[in-house]
Amino acid sequence: MNALNRTGYIHLIVVMSVALICFSSVTAAARPNCLPSWNDGASKEAIVRFVTEISRKGSPDYVPPAERIAVFDNDGTLWSEQPMYFQLAFVLDRVKALAPQHPEWKEEQPFKAALEGDLKTVLAGGEHALLELIMATHAGMTTEEFEQIVQDWITTAKHPKTDRPYTEMVYQPMLELLSYLRANGFKTYIVSGGGIEVMRPWAERVYGIPPEQLVGSSITVKFEMRESGPVLVRLSEIDFIDDKAGKPVGIHKFIGRRPILAFGNSDGDLQMLQWTTAGDGKRLGLIVHHTDAERKWAYDRNSHIGRLDKALDEAGLKGWIVVDMKRDWKVIYPFEKQ
Amino acid sequence: MNALNRTGYIHLIVVMSVALICFSSVTAAARPNCLPSWNDGASKEAIVRFVTEISRKGSPDYVPPAERIAVFDNDGTLWSEQPMYFQLAFVLDRVKALAPQHPEWKEEQPFKAALEGDLKTVLAGGEHALLELIMATHAGMTTEEFEQIVQDWITTAKHPKTDRPYTEMVYQPMLELLSYLRANGFKTYIVSGGGIEVMRPWAERVYGIPPEQLVGSSITVKFEMRESGPVLVRLSEIDFIDDKAGKPVGIHKFIGRRPILAFGNSDGDLQMLQWTTAGDGKRLGLIVHHTDAERKWAYDRNSHIGRLDKALDEAGLKGWIVVDMKRDWKVIYPFEKQ
Minimal CA separation from A301 to chain B, in Å:
23
Task: Give the pLDDT score at A304.
Answer: 84
Per CB-CB distance under 8 Å, the chain B contacts of A64 are: 5, 8
Which of B4-8, B15-19, B30-34, B182-186 has the highest average model confidence (pLDDT)? Answer: B182-186
Task: Give the pLDDT score at A179.
Answer: 97
Per CB-CB distance under 8 Å, the chain A contacts of B221 are: 249, 252-253
Q: Is residue A203 packed enough to be buried (19+ CB in 10 Å), middle (13-18) or exposed (0-12)? A: buried
**8 Å CB contact of A248 and B200:** no
Percent of chain B scored above 70 by pLDDT?
A: 90
Lowest-confidence range among A175-184, A216-225, B11-20, B69-78? B11-20
Calpha distance B89→B122 (Å, rounded): 12
Task: Give the pLDDT score at B82.
Answer: 87
- Residue A247's closest chain B neighbor by CA? B223
Task: Give the pLDDT score at B337.
Answer: 76
**Cis ω for the linkage preceding A83 (within 30 of 0):** yes
Contact A298, A135 (CB under 8 A): no
Residue B109 has pLDDT above 60, yes or no: yes
Calpha distance B274→B311 (Å, rounded): 9
In terms of Cα–Cα distance, which of B295, B266, B292, B276 is closest to B77? B266
Eight-class DSSP state of B324: E
Choosing among A4, A212, A218, A273, which should be mutated to test the B contact, i.e. which has the most B CBs within 10 A? Answer: A212
Contact B211, A255 (CB under 8 A): yes
Helix axes B2-24, B200-207, angle to 10 degrees: 40
Eight-class DSSP state of A329: B
Lowest-confidence range among B18-32, B218-232, B269-283, B317-331? B18-32
- Residues of chain A under the 70 pLDDT cut: 1-32, 338
**8 Å CB contact of A200 and B229:** no
Task: Give the pLDDT score at A54.
Answer: 97
Mean pLDDT of chain B: 91
Q: Tell me: the pLDDT tens digits for B215-263?
A: 999 999 999 999 999 999 999 999 999 999 999 999 999 999 999 999 9
A-proximal residues of B, 193-222, CB under 8 Å: 196, 200, 204, 210-212, 214, 218, 221-222
Provide mean pLDDT across the span B296-304.
86
Task: Give the pLDDT score at B26.
Answer: 39
**8 Å CB contact of B256 and A214:** yes
* pLDDT band with cut points at 50, 70 and 90 for residue B25: very low
Q: Say what the ipTM of the complex is.
A: 0.90
Of B196, B230, B278, the CB nearest to A248: B230
Eight-class DSSP state of B60: T
Calpha distance A43→A52 (Å, rounded): 14
Interface contacts (A, B; CB < 8 Å): 90
Per CB-CB distance under 8 Å, the chain B contacts of A200 are: 256
Task: Give the pLDDT score at A31.
Answer: 52
- Residue A209's closest chain B neighbor by CA? B66
The set of residues, in sequence order, having a beta carbon less than 8 Å from that of B240 and lying 6+ positions away, is B217, B218, B246, B250, B253
Give the phi and the psi of residue A99 in degrees, each rounded to 5.
Answer: -55, -40
Calpha distance A43→B123 (Å, rounded): 59
Global pTM?
0.90
Distances (CA, A) of A238 to A131, A235, B41: 9, 8, 48
Helix axes A200-207, A143-156, angle to 10 degrees: 50
In terms of Cα–Cα distance, which of B262, B42, B260, B37 is closest to B170? B37
Minimal CA separation from B161 to chain A, in Å:
32
Minimal CA separation from A41 to chain B, in Å:
31
HSE of B252 in the Cβ direction (CA atoms, 13 Å)?
27
Distances (CA, A) of B110 to A71, B84, B87, B301: 42, 17, 16, 28
Task: Give the pLDDT score at B29.
Answer: 41
For residue A69, the SS3 value is: strand
The better pLDDT of the pair B17, B263 is held by B263
Distances (CA, A) of B192 to A112, B142, B253: 45, 22, 14
In terms of Cα–Cα distance, which of A276, A121, A321, A248 is closest to B223? A248
* pLDDT band with cut points at 50, 70 and 90 for residue B84: confident
Minimal CA separation from B221 to chain A, in Å:
6
* pLDDT band with cut points at 50, 70 and 90 for residue B9: low
Choosing among A189, A252, A258, A317, which should be mutated to test the B contact, i.e. which has the most B CBs within 10 A? Answer: A252
Length of chain B measured in residues? 338
Per CB-CB distance under 8 Å, the chain B contacts of A232 are: 248-249, 252, 275
Distances (CA, A) of A128 to A125, A135, A270, B262: 6, 11, 23, 40
**8 Å CB contact of B248 and A229:** no
Give the phi and the psi of residue A223 in degrees, each rounded to 5.
Answer: -80, 135
Task: Give the pLDDT score at B338.
Answer: 60
